[in-house]
Amino acid sequence: MSDDILNTLQALIQTRKDTPTAGSYTNSLFDAGRAKIAQKVGEEAVEVVVAALAQDAERQISEAADLMYHLLVLLADLGLSLDDVRAELVKRHGK
């Protein structure tokens, strides 16, 4: 499966950041600020761990998706992108 959905989601998040939409959950995160966004990433990471240890595959997938979404929001807030992360992974892989 390709990463097209991640690119699509990243673009949507960036659009929400650049052009806020009333009632958007993504915009509510941006409005709450970086500390709240980072807190959500941490919460979702813990939920991924809990799901990995005690829940079924459907829940594990759901929690992993939540974590990835919130991480993309944090990256956008930081002015970073999936390409920045990809470049770092390529650099590490080359070592």
Number of domains in the chain: 1
Task: Evaluate if residue 1 carries a pLDDT over 50.
Answer: no
30-80 tens-digit pLDDT: 999 999 999 999 999 999 999 999 999 999 999 999 999 999 999 999 999
Is the pTM value of this prediction over 0.85?
Answer: yes
Domain housing 9:
4-93
The CATH number that applies at residue 85 is: 1.10.287.1080
Q: Are 10 and 82 in contact, with CB atoms under 8 Å apart? A: yes
81-95 tens-digit pLDDT: 999 999 999 999 986
11-33 tens-digit pLDDT: 999 999 999 999 999 999 999 99
Contacts 24+ apart (CB under 8 A), 2-9: 3/82, 6/68, 6/72, 6/82, 7/82, 9/69, 9/72
